[in-house]
Structure 1
C-alpha cells in the first residue's frame, strides 16, 4: 500500500565547525519545488536532543537557521528529517507537531526536545482526516523514525503509556481547559483556584500552564510545587520538553528556599500542610518560631500556620489545583484555612472527564459507562458525596463483570492473588500498560525494618512500595502493593484495589473507618484531639483516590466480607 506522505532525511555537513547549506544537487527537482513552498513538518536530530517544527517554506527556513538568523543553532544537530504529503496541511500541522513533540520526548532517546510551538495551552480544533492522520501518518512515520535509529521505541503504543506522554505540556487540551489557561495567562491581577475531582485533568493543565507562562514570560520566574512522589517525574518532564527554566519543588523545599517567584502553580493543593504536632519533624521545621518570638509566646511553633500562607507570601501570582475529596491526613490544610486564604481568588470548576476506555456499550450500559457515572457510584457508596444532585447514578457499570467477565471495566475478586493475576492477564493484552495493586493503609510497614513481608496470603508474600518517589518506575514495583502516598495524583491503566479492614460496617449497618486497623501514624488524630467524623472522612477519601486511579480497568478485593456484602447490595450485584 502506498504511503500518504514523503519521508526525507539529510545529513548536516560541516566545514570545520560551521554547517554547510543544503545543496541543490542533494535534492530532487520535485522535492525542491515542494520544500520551497509547501506545508512541511521537520525534525532536527542531535546527539542527545532534537527540535520539532513546521513551515510552509522549509528551504528558506533552513537557510535562516544556517545563517543564524534565529535562536536556533544548527551546529547542535547532525541531520534533519522532513515530511510532507496529502495529510500534512494547514489544518493538521499543529496537531502533527504537538503529537511528534510529545512522542519523541516520551520515547526517551533524546534528553531534551525543543520547539517553537505556538499552540501551547490551546485545544486542537477538530479537522477532517484527523483520525486518518494518526493511522496513516503518525504511526507509519514513527516506524520509519525507528528503523532509521532516530527513536528507541518501535511500538508507538508503548510510548503512549509512559508518564512523559501522559503529562506532556503539549498534550491536547479540552476546550474548557484551554479557555481556563488562556484566561489565567491574560490576567495579571488575580490569583486562581482550579477545582476538579479525580480525572478532570488538573495535572495536565498544570504542565501546560507552566509551559505557557514560561514561554510568554521568559524573563520571569515560574515555580511548580508538587508532592514528593511526583517531584522527580515533574523535573524530568519539564527538562525533556525543553522547559528547564521552570523550577520544581515540594512545598517544604519551596518554603525553605526563601526565594520569590512571579508565578507559582501548586498541584494537589488540598495536601498542603498545616502545623500539627503529630506530623513528620521535617515538615514541622518550617513552622518553628524564631527563638526570640518563641520565648515571648511560650511556644516553639506557630500553631496556626500552614504552608499555603507561606507560599503566597513568596508568589506574585498563584494557581492552585484543588480537590477537597483527596484530603487524607489531620496535618492537611483544613478547608476553613484554605477558604480564608483563597476567598478572593478567582475560581474555575472542571467538569468530570475521567476516562474509562472500554468497548462501546449499547442499551442500558451506554448510559452507565461514563466516568461521571462511575465516580458518582464510588462517592455515593463511600458516603462522601457532598452534592445531593449527584445521588442518582446507573448501577449497571458495577454489575457488568458478572456478564462481560474480563471485558468489564469494574469487577470484584476473591483474593489478593486474583488481583495480581488480573493485572498480569491485562499485561498480555496490553504489554505497554502500567498496572499496579494498591491498598488502603491497612497493614503495618514491617518490611522497612525486617525481612518480614507486609502482606501474606496463603503461600504468597508481598511488600509495600519499596520507595515513595517515582514508585511506578521502580524495579519490581509490579510485584509490590502501593500505598496512597505512592500513587496519589498518578494515573494507571489497570488497577487492583485492596479494601482493607480499616473500613467496616458498624452495628447500625453504616460504612465507617476503623482506627484499630489503620496504620498510618500521621493519618490519625492525637488522642487528646479526637475527630472521629473527620478521621472517617480521611479513610474514605483514601479509597476514593485509589478507586479512581484506573483508566482501562479496575478490580477490587474486600478483606472485610461485611463490607463486600454491603457493596454488592448497594450496587444491586447478585452474585
Structure 2
C-alpha cells in the first residue's frame, strides 16, 4: 500500500477541495478492507484531502461500519469494477454521505446506490414525522434525530438538486440505510409511521445482509470503472437556492427546500409544540443557530405549514429588510392584506391580547429590543409582549449576531420571560451549514480570527470558501460588481464608520476614502430595505440593518477604523464609529456605571457586526481593511490563496488571471525513486502539451519534474500533470489548479473536459491556439461507413461573465486535435 510522508504533502493552492474522501473500484476496496485496514487507508485519504487528522470516534465508526460493507460487497455478482466512494460531502452543506456504489443496471442505466450506515442496536419511536430516538454516539445518551431512511433520502435529494452531473448524465440515485448492528425488525425501527420514508430509502438490518446484496445487485449489474464517481466529483455545483427567491413557492405549499437532520428535527418539534399549545400550556421553543444554519428557511417553512393548517401565525422580525424583501417577492401573487397578515415587526405587540395568535415565529430574535415605537417610548419588553400574545412562540436566535446595545433578545432573556409567563420551554440547536459553501470551518475560523471564541480553526483554506483580502476599496467594489453581473447577488457592505451626509444632500458622498479616490453612498436614502435585491444598487454600500437575516452569493466588506490589529491582538475601537451610529447609543452612560462591562459590550458589538457582515456571502467574502496591519493579519491566517491580477480589457472582454503561486500539489519524485517504481507522473507545461506530440517518450523529454501521485491513481502511460490558469472553467477547475490529464485520449469525447488545438483558436487565457473546455461535436457518416466531424463546440463552465462557446466548423483540410483529456483536479 502507498505510504504517505506526512511532512512532504502540500495542499494545492487554488484547487477545489476534494469532495470524495476515498474512491476505488470494488476489487480495490476489498483489498484495502481485508488486507490493509480500510480505516487506515481512509484516514490517510482524509488527511490528504483536508489537512486534518481523523478523530477517534470517526475512526472507530469506520473500523466497524466499513468492515460490514466489505462483507456486503464480497459477492461475485456485484461487479469488480463497480465504483466505491466513502465520505462524499453533499454540495453546499457540511454533511457527508457515508458510502456510495456506482455502476449500470441491466438496461445500462447509470445508478448510484447511497448507503447511510448506522451502528445502532436499539431505537425508540418518536411521534414526530421522520424522527426517531436513538443513541447517536458520544456521552449524551439517546437523542432525537432523523430516521436513517429519511436521512439517506434527504442526502440523495440534495445531491440531485445541487450536482448537475446527476441530471445531465441521467443518473438514478437509490438511497438506503444499513443498520448492521440492529438485531431484528422490532416494530420500532420499522414502525408503520416510518413506512413512507422506508419506501423511499429501504432499510436493512444486521441479519439482512443478503437482502442488501440483492438490492445492490439489482441496481449495479455492470461496473463503470469509477466513471460515475468522476462525473459526480467534477460535476458543476449549482448555487444554493436563496430563501427570498423561494418564498412564494413555500407559502403556496411547494417543497422548495429539503430539510436535513437538525433542521427536520426543529421543524417537527415546533409543529408538535404548537399542537400541544392548542389545549395545553403555553409553549416557547428557543432555536439557537449560527450563520447559514437555515434559521430563516426553517422559519418560513413553519409559517407555510401553520397557515396551511388554518392557524393564525405570523413571521416576526425586528429587522425591516428581510420582511421587505419577502413581501416584495410576494407582491403580485398574494393580496396586500394577506401579506400584511403574514409578516410583522417586533414592535407590533405593545398592547397584547393574551393568546391572540396561535403561533409567532420570531426570526433573528437576538435583535429584539426592550421598548418599541419610533422613539422607544412604547411597551414594556418585546420578549414579554410576544410570548404573551401567542399560545406558541418560536425564537430563532444567534447570540453572536447582537449588533447594538439595544439588542436584548439573547437566550438568557428568552428563558427568563418564558419562565415568568409559565410557558413550557423546548431548546434546540441548528448546526447544519448551508451558507459559506457548506463550510463549518469558515465560521469557526472567523470566530477564532475575530477573537469571539477560540476554535481549532487557526487557518482558512480558501479553496473551500472564496475569502480574499484586497488592497483597496476600489478593487473590492470592482470584484463585487463583476460577480454581480452573473445573478445580481453580490453587494458591498461596511461597518458604521462613516456619516450620512447624503441623507440631506443627495449629491454628497458618505464613504470617502481619498487615498484611493473611492467615494460611495450608503444605500438607505434610495432603495431602503430593498437595496439587497434592487437591480443597479450594487454601486451603493449597504449596512448591517439592510443585510442581516438575508443572503448573497458574494459579499464585499469594508472594515473601517473601528477594528484594528495592534500588539498581536484584534482590537475594536468604538471611537472609530461615526457619530451618527446608533448601535452604541448609550455607551457613555454605561461607561460611567461600569467601564469594564461597557468596554466588553462595545467590543462584542463591533466584532459581532463584522462577523455578521462577513457571513452574508454563500460563496465568497472579499475584505478591504482601512487598517493595514489588520489586512496583513487576516492574510497570515489564510492558506491556498489565489491572487488575481487587476482587471484588464482583453479579447472577448475576458481578464486573464494568474495564480499567486506555482506550488506543486504533490511531492517531487527523484530519478532514483522513479527507477525503483515510484507511482509518479511527469509535470508538463500545457503549452508544450498542446504542441505536436503523441508518443509517451515525448513526455519524458518535455517533463519539468516528476511528481508522486496519490495511491488511488495508479500511473498509466500518457498521464501527465499540468496547471490550469484562467476563469473560463472555474466551476470545474478553479483558477491555478493542478490537474491530471491523459494525452491523446481515445473513445467518445462528448461531455468531457479536453485540451483542444486548432488554428482558428485564439484563447485570451492560454495565449495560444489551444483551449481547455467541455467538448461537444456533430458528425456525419461518410459513404465508406466512417465518421467525420462537421462542427465542434467548446463550452466554458464558469460563473464569470464574458465567456462564450468556441464554435469550430471543421473541414477536411483543417488541422484539429484533441490533445488531452482532463481526468481530475489534484
TM-score higher than 0.5 here?
yes
2:269 and 2:459 map into 1 onto residues whose CA distance is 38
What SS does structure 2 have at the residue aligned with 1:512?
strand
Q: Is the 8 A contact 1:168 1:207 kept in 2?
A: no
Residue in structure 1 matching 2:246, options 131, 156, 165: 165
1:436 and 1:512 map into 2 onto residues whose CA distance is 26
Matches for 1:350-389 after TM superposition, within 5 Å? 350-357=430-437, 371-385=439-453
Matches for 1:462-481 after TM superposition, within 5 Å? 462-466=520-524, 467-481=527-541
1:445 and 1:556 map into 2 onto residues whose CA distance is 22
Instruction: Give the superposition deviation at 1:326.
Output: 0.3
Q: Is the 8 A contact 1:446 1:452 kept in 2?
A: yes
Q: Which residue of structure 1 lines up, in the alignment, with residue 767 of structure 2?
A: none
Instruction: Give the superposition deviation at 1:565.
Output: 2.6
Matches for 1:234-273 after TM superposition, within 5 Å? 234-236=326-328, 244=338, 247-255=342-350, 260-273=356-369
* 2:429 equivalent to 1:349: yes
What SS does structure 1 have at the residue aligned with 2:589?
coil
* 2:600 equivalent to 1:540: no
Q: Which residue of structure 1 lines up, in the alignment, with residue 630 of structure 2?
A: 563
- CA 1:196–1:129: 2 relative to 1, 3 Å: closer
1:322 and 1:329 map into 2 onto residues whose CA distance is 15
- CA 1:433–1:161: 2 relative to 1, 3 Å: farther
Q: Which residue of structure 2 lines up, in the alignment, with residue 314 of structure 1?
A: 389
What SS does structure 1 have at the residue aligned with 2:588?
coil
Residue in structure 2 matching 1:225, options 307, 310, 316: 316
What SS does structure 1 have at the residue aligned with 2:558?
strand
Q: TM-score, normalised by structure 2?
A: 0.43
Instruction: Give the superposition deviation at 1:134.
Output: 8.7
Q: Which residue of structure 1 lines up, in the alignment, with residue 193 of structure 2?
A: none
Q: Deviations over 1:450-507 (max 9, x none)?
A: 221012344342101134312212353100111011100111001111111111235x
Q: Which residue of structure 1 lines up, in the alignment, with residue 476 of structure 2?
A: 419
What SS does structure 1 have at the residue aligned with 2:290?
coil
Q: Which residue of structure 1 lines up, in the alignment, with residue 292 of structure 2?
A: 199
Q: Which residue of structure 2 lines up, in the alignment, with residue 7 of structure 1?
A: none
What SS does structure 1 have at the residue aligned with 2:400?
helix
1:437 and 1:513 map into 2 onto residues whose CA distance is 21
Q: Which residue of structure 2 lines up, in the alignment, with residue 337 of structure 1?
A: 413
1:328 and 1:125 map into 2 onto residues whose CA distance is 35
Residue in structure 1 matching 2:493, options 431, 438, 444: 438
Q: Deviations over 1:86-110 (max 9, x none)?
A: x9xxxxxxxxxxxxxxxxxxxxxxx
Gaps of at least 5 residues in structure 1 are: 1-86, 88-121, 140-156, 288-304, 358-369, 401-406
Instruction: Give the superposition deviation at 1:175.
Output: 3.2
- CA 1:433–1:470: 2 relative to 1, 3 Å: closer
- CA 1:342–1:563: 2 relative to 1, 3 Å: farther
2:587 and 2:159 map into 1 onto residues whose CA distance is 57
- CA 1:408–1:162: 2 relative to 1, 3 Å: closer
Q: Is the 8 A contact 1:158 1:432 kept in 2?
A: no
- CA 1:543–1:133: 2 relative to 1, 3 Å: closer
**Rg larger in structure:** 2
- CA 1:215–1:532: 2 relative to 1, 3 Å: same
Instruction: Give the superposition deviation at 1:136.
Output: 10
Q: TM-score, normalised by structure 1?
A: 0.61
- CA 1:252–1:133: 2 relative to 1, 3 Å: closer
- Higher mean C-alpha deviation, range 240-249 or range 164-173: 240-249
- CA 1:556–1:435: 2 relative to 1, 3 Å: same
Q: Is the 8 A contact 2:316 2:345 kept in 1?
A: yes
Q: Is the 8 A contact 1:228 1:468 kept in 2?
A: no
- CA 1:418–1:442: 2 relative to 1, 3 Å: same
Residue in structure 2 matching 1:461, options 509, 519, 544: 519
Q: Is the 8 A contact 1:168 1:208 kept in 2?
A: no
Instruction: Give the superposition deviation at 1:240.
Output: 7.1
Residue in structure 2 matching 1:274, options 370, 393, 398: 370
1:209 and 1:309 map into 2 onto residues whose CA distance is 22
- CA 1:483–1:384: 2 relative to 1, 3 Å: same
More strand by percentage: 2
Residue in structure 2 matching 1:325, options 364, 375, 400: 400
1:421 and 1:206 map into 2 onto residues whose CA distance is 35
Gaps of at least 5 residues in structure 2 are: 1-108, 110-149, 169-237, 278-282, 592-597, 642-659, 661-826
1:320 and 1:378 map into 2 onto residues whose CA distance is 25
- CA 1:408–1:452: 2 relative to 1, 3 Å: same
- Higher mean C-alpha deviation, range 522-531 or range 432-441: 522-531
Instruction: Give the superposition deviation at 1:516.
Output: 1.6
2:157 and 2:543 map into 1 onto residues whose CA distance is 44
Instruction: Give the superposition deviation at 1:224.
Output: 1.2
Matches for 1:125-140 after TM superposition, within 5 Å? 125=154, 131=160
1:489 and 1:129 map into 2 onto residues whose CA distance is 23
What SS does structure 2 have at the residue aligned with 1:392?
coil
* 2:238 equivalent to 1:178: no
More helix by percentage: 1
1:283 and 1:180 map into 2 onto residues whose CA distance is 36
Q: Is the 8 A contact 2:352 2:388 kept in 1?
A: no
What SS does structure 2 have at the residue aligned with 1:265?
strand
Residue in structure 2 matching 1:397, options 461, 486, 491: 461
2:549 and 2:557 map into 1 onto residues whose CA distance is 16
Q: Is the 8 A contact 1:354 1:372 kept in 2?
A: no
Q: Is the 8 A contact 1:225 1:264 kept in 2?
A: yes
Q: Which residue of structure 2 lines up, in the alignment, with residue 523 of structure 1?
A: 584
Q: Is the 8 A contact 2:261 2:432 kept in 1?
A: no
Q: Deviations over 1:95-151 (max 9, x none)?
A: xxxxxxxxxxxxxxxxxxxxxxxxxxx986456997399969999xxxxxxxxxxxx
Residue in structure 1 matching 2:558, options 472, 492, 498: 498
Q: Which residue of structure 2 lines up, in the alignment, with residue 5 of structure 1?
A: none
Q: Is the 8 A contact 1:195 1:323 kept in 2?
A: yes
- CA 1:184–1:562: 2 relative to 1, 3 Å: same
Q: Which residue of structure 1 lines up, in the alignment, with residue 85 of structure 2?
A: none
2:327 and 2:637 map into 1 onto residues whose CA distance is 43
Residue in structure 1 matching 2:571, options 490, 512, 525: 512
1:274 and 1:511 map into 2 onto residues whose CA distance is 31
Instruction: Give the superposition deviation at 1:235.
Output: 3.1
Instruction: Give the superposition deviation at 1:183.
Output: 2.1
What SS does structure 1 have at the residue aligned with 2:606?
helix
- Higher mean C-alpha deviation, range 163-172 or range 196-205: 163-172
What SS does structure 1 have at the residue aligned with 2:461?
helix
- CA 1:313–1:239: 2 relative to 1, 3 Å: farther
What SS does structure 1 have at the residue aligned with 2:292?
coil
Aligned-pair Cα RMSD in Å:
3.7
Instruction: Give the superposition deviation at 1:551.
Output: 1.0
Q: Is the 8 A contact 2:266 2:428 kept in 1?
A: yes
1:313 and 1:238 map into 2 onto residues whose CA distance is 29
Q: Is the 8 A contact 1:525 1:535 kept in 2?
A: no
